[in-house]
């Protein structure tokens, strides 16, 4: 989704009016330092009890302000950097991190007790402290096994299968320009197909692939197992999604992730430059990499904690394994080519 900038009016009065309007979009100046405003993606779902622990430790109340999918979140923060929407951010991922860093919207902060297992997910170079890794997940194609069983059809197994006539009109994926899982899936296809990725996407579109604005629409509305009476049994989601489709009283999920289609996604938190409560956000980042928050991530946000010592839910070992060999694209290549890749993707998909 393209976000439109307002055109500045050439008078002093208009400039003052615009500045006032922008200020209204940022952190509420009347809020005390004991209130922390955090911009997030729409998939934020941390329990109130965990946030209550943070308040008990620091006296700070966290106010969460969802801003759309991770791509929309990042774009909004960039476009409002002169009047920040919040004090900090959670949900920028490794597909959009370089956009946030290059735009200069972040204040560097080195978390006090970052788990040693999280070091592998840190940004590199001068940007390593701009964002703190909080969690990760594998973006993978998911299938509704129960749907295929009822139809007596064989589900797909690979990226190539998605373009076959047998699966025409059955696949839905969030868009690459507005969704971090959507961009992650695009990067998986680029890693898998190299210079032939555009031809692959032409095949997907010819096979009636549906593209939505974000993960929520794709999974919860269009996916047959997402609870929204959808009609598409194949969706871009996460390797951690299947355990949450285990019916009440049952022991196995009705869906599965195709582990040969995955791209590893890392989510970060950061302090927004010019925020009203940077000290509070730094405390919250320290809390987010701490045990209470890390332990709550799988059940609340369906992602893996960066702290490898955290015990995962029992179902995850059986039904939510990470991909042994996820696709990857060098972050420097993403930074260099993202604009071109997204333009070419839009040309192919007409999005």
User: Across residues 117-125, what is the average pLDDT?
Assistant: 93
Residue 98 has a pLDDT of 87
User: Across residues 276-302, what is the average pLDDT?
Assistant: 96
> Which residues, 6 or more positions from 96, have their beta carbon under 8 angstroms from its beta carbon?
70, 71, 74, 180, 183
CA-nearest of 223, 207, 218, 210 to 168 is 207
Tell me the two tokens of residue 93. 């991922």
User: Across residues 147-165, what is the average pLDDT?
Assistant: 98
Q: What percent of the chain has pLDDT over 90?
A: 75
Residue 184 has a pLDDT of 94
Question: Which helix (DSSP H) or strand (DSSP E) does residue 123 occupy?
Answer: none
Give the predicted TM-score (pTM) of the model.
0.78
User: Across residues 103-126, what is the average pLDDT?
Assistant: 94
Q: What percent of the chain has pLDDT over 70?
A: 91
> Which residues, 6 or more positions from 266, have their beta carbon under 8 angstroms from its beta carbon?
93, 94, 121, 133, 135, 136, 306
Q: Strands (DSSP E) along 146-203, which ranges? A: 171-174
Residue 272 has a pLDDT of 98
Does the pLDDT value for residue 13 go beyond 70? no
Of residues 158 and 214, the one with the higher pLDDT is: 158
In tens, the pLDDT along 59-90 reads 999 999 999 888 889 999 999 999 999 999 99
Q: What's the CA gap between 290 and 293, in Å, rounded? A: 6
Residue 71 has a pLDDT of 81
For residue 14, name the pLDDT band (cuts at 50, 70, 90).
very low
User: Across residues 147-166, what is the average pLDDT?
Assistant: 98
In tens, the pLDDT along 310-349 reads 999 888 888 999 999 999 988 778 888 989 999 999 999 9
Residue 331 has a pLDDT of 76
Residue 303 has a pLDDT of 92
């Amino acid at each position: 989704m393209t976000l439109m900038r307002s055109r500045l009016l050439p008078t002093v009065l208009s400039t003052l009016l615009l500045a006032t309007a922008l200020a209204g979009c940022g952190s509420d100046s009347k809020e005390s330092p004991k209130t922390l405003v955090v911009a997030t993606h729409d998939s934020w779902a941390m329990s109130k009890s965990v946030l209550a622990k943070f308040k008990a430790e620091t006296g700070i109340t966290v106010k969460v302000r969802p801003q759309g999918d991770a791509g929309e979140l990042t774009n909004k923060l960039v476009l409002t950097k002169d009047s920040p929407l919040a004090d900090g951010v959670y949900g920028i991922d490794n597909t959009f991190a370089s956009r946030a860093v290059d735009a200069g919207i972040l204040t560097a902060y080195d978390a006090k007790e970052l788990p040693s297992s999280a070091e592998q997910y840190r940004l590199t170079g001068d940007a390593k402290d701009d964002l703190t890794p909080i969690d990760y997940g594998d973006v993978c194609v998911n299938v509704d096994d129960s749907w295929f069983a009822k139809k007596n059809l064989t589900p797909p197994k690979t990226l190539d299968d998605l373009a076959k006539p047998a699966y025409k009109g059955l696949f839905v994926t969030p868009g690459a320009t507005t969704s971090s899982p959507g961009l992650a899936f695009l990067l998986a296809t680029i890693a898998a197909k190299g210079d032939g990725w555009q031809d692959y996407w032409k095949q997907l579109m010819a096979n009636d692939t549906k593209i939505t604005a974000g993960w929520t629409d794709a999974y919860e509305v269009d996916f047959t197992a997402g609870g929204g009476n959808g009609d598409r049994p194949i969706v871009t989601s996460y390797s951690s999604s299947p355990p949450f489709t285990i019916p009440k009283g049952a022991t196995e999920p009705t869906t599965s992730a195709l582990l040969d289609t995955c791209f590893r996604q890392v989510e970060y938190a950061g302090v927004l430059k010019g925020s009203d409560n940077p000290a509070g956000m730094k405390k919250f980042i320290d809390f987010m990499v701490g045990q209470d928050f890390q332990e709550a991530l799988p059940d609340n946000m369906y992602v893996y904690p960066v702290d490898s010592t955290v015990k995962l839910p029992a179902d995850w070992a059986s039904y939510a394994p990470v991909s042994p060999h996820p696709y990857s694209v060098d972050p420097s290549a993403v930074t260099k080519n993202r604009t071109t890749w997204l333009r070419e993707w839009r040309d192919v998909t007409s999005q």
